[in-house]
Structure 1
Amino acid sequence: MKSTGFTLLLVLVFQVAFTQELAISENQRYLIYKSDSTPFFWLGDTAWELFHKLDREEALHYLQTRADQGFTVIQAVILAERDGVRTPNAYGDLPFEDLDPKRPNEAYFEHVDFIIDEANKLGLVMGVLPTWGDKVYSEHPGAGPILFGEENARIFGEYLGRRYRDANLVWILGGDRDIANEEVRAVWDAMAAGIAEGDGKTHLMTYHPRGSRSSGDYLHDADWMDFNMYQSSHARFYNPVYEFALKDRALQPTKPTLDGEPAYEDIPVAFWEFMKFEPGEFSEITDEDGTLKDRTPFTKGFFDGKSVRVHAYWNILAGAAGYTYGNNAVWQMHKKGETFVIPALTDWKDALRRPGAESMRFVRKLFEMRSFSELVPAQELIVSPNPEGENHIRAAKQRDGDFAVIYLANPQEFELDLSLLNSDRFTAFWYDPRNGSRFKLPEFGIAQKVWTAPSVPDDADWVLVIEAK
């Protein structure tokens, strides 16, 4: 009985810890739980169409799966990209009456309420976008229509802030769009001000920009911008995502930063180069389930499970406060028999268990095991040649030199300078980021310089963790 009671207590403590509101750490580098300053590891998933496309049963399945996989944040959009204000949700409800943000439809928002509440019950923080960016003027129009000016943006923001004042969430303004001009900046400022007025500044806020950009490029000075978010995008394999993190880390005043949309698992590399975005496009090579059966038109290939791991470790070891995973079928909640936005290889349910998604739990496991909040970028540890691309190596160390983490996208020989760590005797292990297994190494001294990563399989990625004795 004592054992059972103690186990129950641990479960309750764990659940309470994950329903606390978030804040920014004292050193302004990462997120924390507000009540006790415990570091919060952002492991997100882009479920942009969650509120719009899924019914309650489907949403519960999605949320439970991601919670079981160790995700901590779910990013979703209230006014969604796929014609989210004119095409109704799974229950036939539109968000507004007559497309008027001052006249919200209670039935639509009750569905949003349900999903946020259920996510919170599972210990998930919701990263909520009030609207996709195409509902505000930009130089890259989408389904739209443009709905917001300063006045109604503030009113809608206040409505959302008041409605979700007690929810466990982070507000993410923007939605894949740059700030076109000062008038557009004023609209987003007004929406942020409305949210803050509605929720009493209870929740953190950031901005989701267009591809290959960061909120720090044009909103770093905004008083409502608590941390930066960048979109490293889907342009190429071995994208140097660490450059975004390092650029944002150098900005003043200091703010946390993270990759809110990297390359998605199963999305075609640089897909926009091969698409016209017209109705019926690729219908001749799409099967009856609405999934792509012939990949040959996309000559640059598709991102896979290893691709998303490479970008995860490169981001975090460059100083990001976390990482957001994404899958091409999941973001659009592609269902069998439907048309896709970007050609999908599976439906959203099958995509939930793709190898990259399953490996994300081991990203979190490693960085919570070794105090990620203490890490600082430390490329100086690597003294052998370190080019960009598939053989690039990233390194970080604990700020006092008590341990170091080195990530290799591919097995190779390399050299380290261990004099930069806080000892002359060390222990170490190789960590397999595919499955979380560890291979312990014999104790060694500071003279150990040349290292060789495990070579099986020959294209595997590996993490080396070195700890001061």
Structure 2
Amino acid sequence: MHRILFTLVFLSSCLIGHSQIKVSDNGRFLTENGKPFFWLGDTDWEMFHRLTREEIEYLVNTRSEQGFTVLQGVALAEFNGVREPNRYGDWPLNNEDPTQLLITPGNSPDNPYEYDYWDHVDFAIQKAAEKKMYIGLLPTWGDKVAHLWGDGPIIFNEQNAEAYGRILATRYAKQWNIIWVLGGDRPAYYKSNRSGTEVQYDDRPIWRAMAKGIEGVLGKEAFITYHPAGGSYRTTDYIHEEPWLDMNAFQSGHGARETNPWKWVEKDLTMKPQKPTLDMEPCYEDHPVNPWDNKWTRARGYFHAYDVRARIYRGVFAGSCGVTYGHHQIWQFLNKDLYPPINIGDTIIGWKKAAKAEAAGQMHYLKKLMLSRPYVTRIGDQTIVKSKIADNYLEYVAATRDSEKSYAMIYLPQNKSVSVDLSKVSGSKKNVWWFDPRSGEATEGKSVSGSGTKSFTPPKAGQDWVLVIDDASKNFKRPGTIE
């Protein structure tokens, strides 16, 4: 079918609608319209490319009911996203040129000629907006830039990256719920032997140009972050000082078990200028543990809800501004009748069933817990914990508290007693709660007084718990209760 190509032009600044997400005044957290905002993301990388309208509605409605705040999707998707059409037979680009979006007049889904690839992206963004959720929009997956692994093709340079950023920003200038996420699982500065010889690559000028295109339309009000590759590739290592970068990010690894992202958070928060940070890909629910060596067996296992909680709670307690949850069969929208499964081990769940997975329904309890106490004054503080604990993924106990001492929270990954320095919480009387991360319920414990060290033992049922200690004079509501 012949398509008419349109070149988008700048809108008048009076038409531009800016994101409501901003960095808090202390540079550590996020706010929405002046109120604390907890980034609870979901990795929906292939949503524009692999889902129908009805399926997008199902995803958006489900994640809204589960309390998610950010759905992360990729405009030029990872798996042959440039050369393979979406579910309606539409491609995103003409001649693989990012300055030429394949756009047709009109946008009626009842007219296959009118309803193009970008109308479908628009639909997903608008459906999320109806549920007051943000789209973490990746303009492209990183394989279209980086000389590393992936389908590609590599199509970006400084000139067309800036133009593409400008085109997308113009298209979505009036869409309030866009968070811009550059990168797409690739570092900006790296070595690669893809050409047969090891070469040092610096893609920062390309990402900088794309950010320039976005900000050229939206100004500095555009909220821009970056999704790096996993392992040692964190934004604080190579782009922290970029003026366009509003929030740092890393991925502790959706298939890796022995990681300590709480240390990464602590390091990120020492950087100047101060910027928020979060884990954009912790271990994925139902992901096989370390399948990359091709030696995976069922004995090695999968990540389950407990693994997800234990990774995420400790990263957040270290001081991150939120987290992005992931399910291994959601990000790829596994439908074996349409697409070959990717690294699934030996279990096919299917993405619609996976949308109701255990940890997916538990993540909003963490969000509510964090927002039920003073938020932007929160800090990670391991000096609260007086027990001798191992510094590993099995035993590490993570503590956070209000810098003004109104409360403290301690995450226990194992059902064991913990000794706490009560001087870290103000007030002569302190209320004690046990918060269940599986159910979001808080059980009142026996209040304590004084400023010495005291041991606390969690309820017998359940492997992991959160101990909450409040200054009684603050009259806080039950942990997890948001007005």
What TM-score, normalized to structure 2? 0.85
Question: Following TM superposition, by how much is the alpha carbon of 1:214 offset from its aligned partner in structure 2, in angstroms?
Answer: 1.4
Could you tell me how far apart the structure 2 residues matched to 1:300 and 1:198 are?
Answer: 49
Is 1:47 the counterpart of 2:44? The answer is yes
Tell me, yes or no, if the aligned pair for 1:274 and 1:298 is still in contact at 8 Å. Answer: no
Task: Give the match for residue 148 of structure 1.
Answer: 156
Equivalent positions of 1:74-93 (< 5 A) are: 74-93=71-90
Is 1:31 the counterpart of 2:39? The answer is no
Question: Following TM superposition, by how much is the alpha carbon of 1:20 offset from its aligned partner in structure 2, in angstroms?
Answer: 6.2
Is 1:415 the counterpart of 2:419? The answer is yes
Question: Following TM superposition, by how much is the alpha carbon of 1:345 offset from its aligned partner in structure 2, in angstroms?
Answer: 3.2
Question: Following TM superposition, by how much is the alpha carbon of 1:163 offset from its aligned partner in structure 2, in angstroms?
Answer: 0.7
**Deviation sequence 1:384-431 (CA, Å, 0-9, x none):** 112123121000111111100110111002211101221231111101
Question: Following TM superposition, by how much is the alpha carbon of 1:448 offset from its aligned partner in structure 2, in angstroms?
Answer: 5.8
1:70 paired residue among 63, 67, 70: 67
Tell me, yes or no, if the aligned pair for 1:51 and 1:112 is still in contact at 8 Å. Answer: yes
Aligned residues: 426
Question: Following TM superposition, by how much is the alpha carbon of 1:198 offset from its aligned partner in structure 2, in angstroms?
Answer: 2.5
The worse-fitting range, judged by mean Cα deviation, of 99-108 and 322-331 is 99-108
Question: Following TM superposition, by how much is the alpha carbon of 1:141 offset from its aligned partner in structure 2, in angstroms?
Answer: 2.1
Tell me, yes or no, if the aligned pair for 1:238 and 1:311 is still in contact at 8 Å. Answer: no
Task: Give the match for residue 322 of structure 2.
Answer: 322
What is the DSSP-based 3-state SS (H/G/I as helix, E as strand, rest coil) of the residue aligned with 2:182?
strand
Could you tell me how far apart the structure 2 residues matched to 1:69 and 1:210 are?
Answer: 27
1:354 paired residue among 357, 380, 392: 357
What is the DSSP-based 3-state SS (H/G/I as helix, E as strand, rest coil) of the residue aligned with 2:146?
coil
**Deviation sequence 1:33-89 (CA, Å, 0-9, x none):** 2x4x11111000000001110010000000010000000000110001111001101
Could you tell me how far apart the structure 2 residues matched to 1:65 and 1:310 are?
Answer: 23
Could you tell me how far apart the structure 2 residues matched to 1:119 and 1:236 are?
Answer: 31
Could you tell me how far apart the structure 2 residues matched to 1:372 and 1:237 are?
Answer: 29
Tell me, yes or no, if the aligned pair for 1:43 and 1:324 is still in contact at 8 Å. Answer: yes
The worse-fitting range, judged by mean Cα deviation, of 333-342 and 242-251 is 333-342
Task: Give the match for residue 389 of structure 2.
Answer: 386
**Deviation sequence 1:214-241 (CA, Å, 0-9, x none):** 1111100111001101111135436311
Structure 2 unmatched runs, 5+: 1-17, 104-115, 191-199, 473-483
Could you tell me how far apart the structure 2 residues matched to 1:298 and 1:443 are?
Answer: 45
Tell me, yes or no, if the aligned pair for 1:395 and 1:406 is still in contact at 8 Å. Answer: yes
Q: Which amino acid aligns with 1:24?
A: V
Is 1:191 the counterpart of 2:205? The answer is no
Tell me, yes or no, if the aligned pair for 1:333 and 1:348 is still in contact at 8 Å. Answer: yes
What is the DSSP-based 3-state SS (H/G/I as helix, E as strand, rest coil) of the residue aligned with 1:415?
strand
Tell me, yes or no, if the aligned pair for 1:164 and 1:199 is still in contact at 8 Å. Answer: no
**Deviation sequence 1:187-224 (CA, Å, 0-9, x none):** 11111111111223332101111112311111001110
Is 1:339 the counterpart of 2:340? The answer is yes
Could you tell me how far apart the structure 2 residues matched to 1:345 and 1:30 are?
Answer: 37
Q: Provide the identity percentage.
A: 38
Tell me, yes or no, if the aligned pair for 1:215 and 1:228 is still in contact at 8 Å. Answer: yes
Tell me, yes or no, if the aligned pair for 1:171 and 1:204 is still in contact at 8 Å. Answer: yes
How big is the alpha-carbon RMSD for the aligned residues of Structure 1 and Structure 2? 1.6
Q: Which amino acid aligns with 1:26?
A: D
What TM-score, normalized to structure 1? 0.88
**Deviation sequence 1:134-173 (CA, Å, 0-9, x none):** 00023x2200000001111111110011111122111010
Tell me, yes or no, if the aligned pair for 2:257 and 2:290 is still in contact at 8 Å. Answer: no
Could you tell me how far apart the structure 2 residues matched to 1:308 and 1:118 are?
Answer: 27
Task: Give the match for residue 101 of structure 1.
Answer: 98
Could you tell me how far apart the structure 2 residues matched to 1:234 and 1:44 are?
Answer: 14
Task: Give the match for residue 59 of structure 1.
Answer: 56
Question: Following TM superposition, by how much is the alpha carbon of 1:299 offset from its aligned partner in structure 2, in angstroms?
Answer: 4.3
1:452 paired residue among 446, 450, 457: 457
Could you tell me how far apart the structure 1 residues matched to 2:289 and 2:72 are?
Answer: 22
Question: Following TM superposition, by how much is the alpha carbon of 1:378 offset from its aligned partner in structure 2, in angstroms?
Answer: 1.1
Question: Following TM superposition, by how much is the alpha carbon of 1:371 offset from its aligned partner in structure 2, in angstroms?
Answer: 2.7
Question: Following TM superposition, by how much is the alpha carbon of 1:103 offset from its aligned partner in structure 2, in angstroms?
Answer: 1.1
Tell me, yes or no, if the aligned pair for 2:24 and 2:376 is still in contact at 8 Å. Answer: no
Task: Give the match for residue 255 of structure 1.
Answer: 275
Runs of 4+ in 1 over 6 A off after TM superposition: none
Q: Which amino acid aligns with 2:342?
A: V
Could you tell me how far apart the structure 2 residues matched to 1:96 and 1:124 are?
Answer: 27
Structure 1 residues 184 and 101, CA, compared in 2 at 3 Å: closer, same or farther? same
